[in-house]
Chains A and B, each alone.
Chain A
Amino acid sequence: MIIKKFFIFFSFIVLSTSAFNQVVYEFEDSLQEKRFYSLISEIRCPKCTSGSIASSDAPVSRDLKNKVYELVLDGSTDQEIKTYVSERFGDFSDYRPSLEGSNYLLWFGPFIFLALMLVIFFIKRRV
């Protein structure tokens, strides 16, 4: 009886995962594959609150993944692909914000804040 239940339970797991793997991307070499998977984890899903297109099954994320796949096979560089996406979906689409303009605050703000706190801490100790 327990074995039967376990079998049913197990088959649910197996069947449910196969449903997620509808799209199979085939690559010419493992480098392309690596680049593809790192790119789709760095491009934000435009339809989600927060999540990469890798983690999303929204129609626009599917289109984006297919486009990234196409561009990787065409031999575009990572930067070209990210520019291609951000031209259409905005800078917001890149999970790794570029080092320019107001993004400096984003990158270095926490360190500046930490340094300030340390300064205050040491001043306070001396007092």
Chain B
Amino acid sequence: MNQLLRFLIVILPVVVLIFFAKILLIDEDIKFSTFDSKNFPEFQLNDLNGDPVQSESLNGIKILNVWASWCITCLVEHPFLTRLSEQNIQIIGLNYKDSDLKANAWLEKHGNPYLFSIYDPRGDLAFDLGVTGAPESYLIINNQVVSHIQGEMNQRKWNSIFLPLIQQAKQGS
């Protein structure tokens, strides 16, 4: 009995320690980026030029980036997105709770890395996607929302979260 007790006294704290250490050591970015993929929500919105957006435009491998002209962090990640677009990564913008005038002026001033931007002034599509604020980015493969990054997109998050999934998808097809 005494032996069992001694064993427990040693082993219990170790088990508890490992349990909590595991939780603490999970990378926050990765914790929130993994989820069961779901269909891209249905929507009827125009792009920033006023043309209706076709859902076929979400076929293939696309990055959906939530941005707004009022969003300061969007400006921080903007050079990185521009570099991605130069590497032929297809990025679609989701202009979130913004005015089209200000949004278009912003793109003109800072450059436009997007194929086009969906204009979502009330944030309806954003709500269905689970957007909590700008900026956020989604990886969309053939109309399926596969992964999600909250906050600024950068090289580290790109390499650890989106890139492996994109490579996997390319190998599969």
**Chain A residues near B (Cβ < 8 Å):** 46-47, 58-60, 63, 67, 87-90, 92, 116, 120, 123-124, 126-127
Contact B129 A60 (CB under 8 A): no
DSSP majority for the A interface?
Answer: helix
The residue that B133 contacts in the complex, of A47, A67, A90, A92, with Cβ under 8 A, is A47
The residue that B97 contacts in the complex, of A59, A67, A92, with Cβ under 8 A, is A59
* Residues 103 to 131 of chain B near chain A (Cβ within 8 Å): 123, 127-131
Contact B1 A60 (CB under 8 A): no
Contact B1 A123 (CB under 8 A): yes
Q: Which residues of B contact A46 (CB under 8 A)?
A: 130, 132
In angstroms, how far is the closest chain B Cβ from the Cβ of A89? 5
Tell me, in angstroms, the Cα distance from A124 to B38 when the chains sit together.
53
In angstroms, how far is the closest chain B Cβ from the Cβ of A123? 6
Determine if B12 is an interface residue (Cβ-Cβ < 8 Å): yes
Q: Which residues of B contact A126 (CB under 8 A)?
A: 1
Tell me, in angstroms, the Cα distance from A89 to B35 when the chains sit together.
10
The residue that A59 contacts in the complex, of B9, B38, B128, B133, with Cβ under 8 A, is B133
Instruction: Determine which residue in B32, B127, B128, B129 has the highest number of CB atoms from chain A within 10 A of its CB, and name it.
Output: B127
Tell me, in angstroms, the Cα distance from A107 to B157 when the chains sit together.
33
Determine if B2 is an interface residue (Cβ-Cβ < 8 Å): yes
Identify 18 new A-B residue pairs, CB closer than 8 A, beyond the known A58-B133, A60-B132, A127-B5.
Answer: A46-B130, A46-B132, A47-B132, A47-B133, A58-B132, A59-B97, A60-B131, A63-B127, A87-B38, A88-B127, A89-B130, A89-B132, A92-B32, A116-B8, A116-B12, A120-B8, A126-B1, A127-B2
In angstroms, how far is the closest chain A Cβ from the Cβ of B146? 15
Q: Which residues of B contact A89 (CB under 8 A)?
A: 130, 132
Tell me, in angstroms, the Cα distance from A88 to B123 when the chains sit together.
13
Contact A60 B133 (CB under 8 A): yes
In angstroms, how far is the closest chain A Cβ from the Cβ of B122? 9
Instruction: Determine which residue in B2, B8, B130 has the highest number of CB atoms from chain A within 10 A of its CB, and name it.
Output: B130
Contact A90 B130 (CB under 8 A): yes
Closest 7 CB pairs of A and B: A88-B130, A46-B132, A47-B132, A89-B130, A60-B132, A63-B127, A47-B133
